[in-house]
């Protein structure tokens, strides 16, 4: 299974920031065992595509409907038209800021897959849920409700992102990450049959050049979703390099 190292630029960047993409694309060209992806703001998609080389370009969100009266929204087909290959569905910031729930996220992922995109479906507990010992149960329930049942390893990536670890510099212990990813693997097999064994599972939450090698070495961690450290090539490329150094 190829590693996937995906960057989420969130609401950051205007055209000059595409110089970072140029450098990321140069580094990504060297690797066969690592797939690299960047989700810039919608406004940069059109300009990013021609400069991305082997880097997959994608959206940070999409609407479940194909078109219609949904002011401010973007459909999966519109992303495809801009050269997107994937879309992030249900990032914890969308869940928290915009009240997105599992049913909506499942609908978005279904629309994305129907349009030919890879859906990166995000799940993860918040801090009280972790402290109450409920993290595994919460994440299992989110997967049950947000993963489209017709998903395949080709059109689904699952990203485990504990909300309390995003942008905080804090991460779960390695044992906690490995335990969660093992549960997610079992859950995907339960939902999707043996194809679930080939769905890539990313870890996201304060991944940086210093901790990437250790996190990526965990069995069933098949890559990472990266926010802050994806904003510059200087901090993102070492994470890509760390993935390339791991032989499985």
CB burial readout 172-184, b (16+ within 10 A) else e: beeeebbbbbebb
Show the binding pattern over residues 106-125: x = contacts ligand PEP (CB under 6 A), - = does not: --------------------
- The footprint of ligand PEP on residues 152-181 (CB under 6 A) is 161, 166-167
Least separation in angstroms between CB 236 and ligand PEP: 10
Catalytic residue among 20, 35, 63, 91: 91
Please say if 70 is a catalytic residue: no
- The footprint of ligand PEP on residues 8-47 (CB under 6 A) is 8
State which residue has the least CB distance to ligand PEP: 227
CB–CB of 143/123 below 8 Å? Answer: yes
Please say if 93 is a catalytic residue: no
Q: How far is CA 165 from CA 100, 102, 130, 214, 227, in A?
A: 19, 20, 11, 16, 11
Given the complex with ligand PEP, which of 40 and 228 has the nearer CB atom?
228
Cα–Cα dist 96/151, whole Å = 25
Using CA of residue 109, residue 113, residue 119, residue 121, what is the dihedral sign?
A: positive
- The footprint of ligand PEP on residues 205-244 (CB under 6 A) is 205-207, 225-229
CB–CB of 111/63 below 8 Å? Answer: yes
The binding site for ligand PEP (CB under 6 A) comprises 8, 161, 166-167, 204-207, 225-229
Provide the annotated active-site residues.
91, 161
């Amino acid at each position: 299974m190829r590693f996937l190292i995906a960057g989420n630029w969130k609401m950051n960047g205007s055209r000059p920031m595409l110089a970072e993409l140029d450098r990321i694309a140069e580094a990504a060209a060297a690797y066969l065992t690592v797939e690299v992806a960047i989700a810039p703001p919608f406004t940069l998609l059109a300009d990013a595509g021609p400069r991305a080389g082997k880097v997959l370009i994608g959206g940070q969100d999409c609407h479940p409907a194909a078109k219609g009266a949904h002011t401010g929204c973007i459909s999966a087909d519109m992303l495809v038209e801009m050269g997107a290959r994937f879309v992030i569905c249900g990032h914890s910031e969308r869940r928290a800021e915009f009240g997105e729930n599992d049913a909506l996220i499942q609908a978005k992922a279904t629309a994305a897959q129907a349009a030919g995109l890879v859906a990166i479906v995000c799940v993860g507990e918040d801090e009280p849920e972790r402290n109450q010992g409920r993290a595994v149960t919460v994440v299992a329930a989110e997967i049950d409700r947000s993963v489209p049942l017709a998903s395949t390893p080709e059109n689904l990536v699952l990203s485990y992102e504990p909300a309390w670890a995003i942008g905080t510099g804090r991460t779960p212990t390695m044992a906690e990450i490995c335990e969660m990813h093992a549960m997610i693997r079992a859950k995907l097999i339960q939902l999707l049959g043996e194809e679930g064994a080939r769905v890539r599972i990313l870890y996201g939450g304060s991944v940086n050049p210093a901790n990437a090698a250790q996190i990526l070495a965990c069995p069933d961690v098949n890559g990472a979703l990266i926010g802050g450290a994806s904003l510059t090539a200087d901090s993102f490329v070492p994470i890509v390099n760390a993935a390339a150094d791991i032989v499985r």
